[in-house]
A and B are shown apart, each in its own frame.
Chain A
């Protein structure tokens, strides 16, 4: 009798490189040697939801941004909104404008990091190029001007926080009730001066993506292309809105399932389930249950749910983007990159509009109130998708429950599905080429996952691809040199 397990292998990619945080991938091979299943494991656990219990709710806007150094502003915004819900308070308009600028700035810097630093090496140097050089350093050697532009775009985003709140990361500017610090005229002008260069850089990024797509049309269109639902926030007319939108769910055909939902009602539409193989929970659209209710968030989802974009240059790109799918949403995971760049363009344009609003330099930036109700929910779009903070307090304002629903968590089911789709195409038996593994990783990287956030995670763990046979025995482990 033949050895059945000799063909039943499991491939594990560990660590997945060029993502924020640490994870590993397991590829299970069936007895026929073909890919049977694939799992994305998040190995970190941080426990923010638990250790914040017992703290005064007003501390959350300082604690929550510590979850992530890439998107601290989104956490601060969702957190202050939850606090302001508890206080039943509306911040002054100038404070909202300043928060918007910081929030858009963070979107630009995070998207610049994702595209120029983490993903563009694949586009420009090639998926099959030398892995030692397939990174921002290799990019800087070959395309120094472009790498510099990418770094500067990220710097611009960071500078928004620095010029408004005094620090480019973890500032104390955003506070329940408004802002602690205002924007000076000098800083307003300095930020506006960045706009033309930033628009230019994003457009160069868009050109890179479009050229790549033209050259590799089949791969781009078919790369982890599968149907899911989508969630994103939109403005009153259905336009893309990142700071203060209402929830919109669409189905795989692009039909609106729910629209203009107050984020405070999120629990009516979203439920979470735990997975045995990951610390990352897997939320789903409650009315359809799991797995039918699998939905995705983030740039692809936001541009799939939005009806329009309010700024002219981004709207032009959006129209072109929408033509690809016709009336249907774009399901191809590779289009996350495209959507990300269009969003970055919108963010820069919208930042210009906001900074040109004369109220932005007003000194009336703080309103005061105390706890007026036990529970508060805050929501904002983080670079990787819709973010919810939900706090429950006792009569003294001490937190008794904290629920953080993070974008990457909501993409968990999508990421698992994506690597399965890619692995099926790229992996054939245990003998896998390095470039194929990079494509599996690239499927994850499309989501730009920030795993330390989504798992509320601690520690540093490198990424590995592990190949397991049908009897769950590891037959090959691929770990890249550090």
Chain B
């Protein structure tokens, strides 16, 4: 009771603090030379209030205060303490409170970190950010209050969906949100810089850090979600082109493009229109993601409640923001026309522009694949789904030139570059194609396309390795990220080509024999855990001369009453061995799925490398 009340009133006061911030910002924008300290102080108070509110919710969860509706709906006394705490953001209301927390935290950090920058620009950024903050406050308080009372107080809660009770998923939302919400600062800052005509090299250097931070967290957030889906959902895949995954990929694509553009702006003061549009796009896509996921339009584990009111609110809010930003873009932004921004056809600038267009193409494919079924449902109430073949067919052919440009681009110089003396790159390309041909020759796959595809990935791989080893002046973070990307594509492709699986139904004591594997279901053991009963299967798998033991698990949770299956995975650097078991109602048969997935761990490692590349650029600063 107490903590919920504290949380609720902290939220209300937090919203009220927005008014003095607004008032002082406008006053300060017009009059003074220096930034009014009151703005910083009030932002700090607002942050403290939101933290207090969030703590209130965490404590309500921790002490299982079921008079709080959110706690009642999502918690249970037998749930382990760790999941009681992480359950705070494992639901709609709590996760939005987390959004708000990150929003207020970031603007506060922004204020302290930008003391040397133009005052008008700082004040205006605060103003734009406050519009977003107020939007979320109102959204939270009116449609998704985390502190609603339940009366009479229930004795027991409904429990958290068991598949969310998982360490990777406990930290997945906060990490992802740091990325999503980080784009809000970029958005506010870009609008402020456009209005104050502050888009410059200095501005680019400063906002680049924010872009990098959001990008790193977004990458890691997606990675965590993907790893979770791999071991928890039991399909053994890591990406399903599910709309909820796509909505995280879209801002990532926009943000990655933005990251490249901001480098051009920093070095060459050009592509400013790209930077503005991409910043707006990234944030809109993050909001759009929140809308699609939270409104209940997309049904998935992320959808906590079907509430049209929430969807309408976010959608209206999103349209207002997009309208404001486009208005600002067209009214205030003047395209620079100075000689220094010219560049030749063969130059780093051109290669980054090409990269942009490719990324925009990938983005539109994902966007259409995600939105089209929703639109069609609204217009004609026909229900369809768009599956992986759509994405594969449209992306793979374009991935080939994309990879090649990714290898060549960093070799070029700014302004103007020559292609002479680059003959060894051609030789390297031919070698890569040859290598991939020899690997694929014996496989029954479409030889031509796949040879070129893997060849291009190998090409990027070798070029980045060569650069790392021999190039004297190099950009280590770019090098590492591009290398990571080539590794990612290679491991995904090899994972696809060399995977094998067996699906069968077995009773305890039975044996499955095929020409490749021999699976023995030797035993089934039951154990009682704190909030579930576990059935562990004992399997013996023989493959050639190797013999391994795998113990997948079935968990029957008490509250809510859900059965989940826990895969057992043996990971090595070469391959993952993956087994899941499922029950079929009241039958003695268990549905067994055994998969051998090569290079699985390299998919995770390569994404880590990509984000590490971003992190490295913080430590890799040249002293001024």
Determine if chain A interacts with chain B.
no
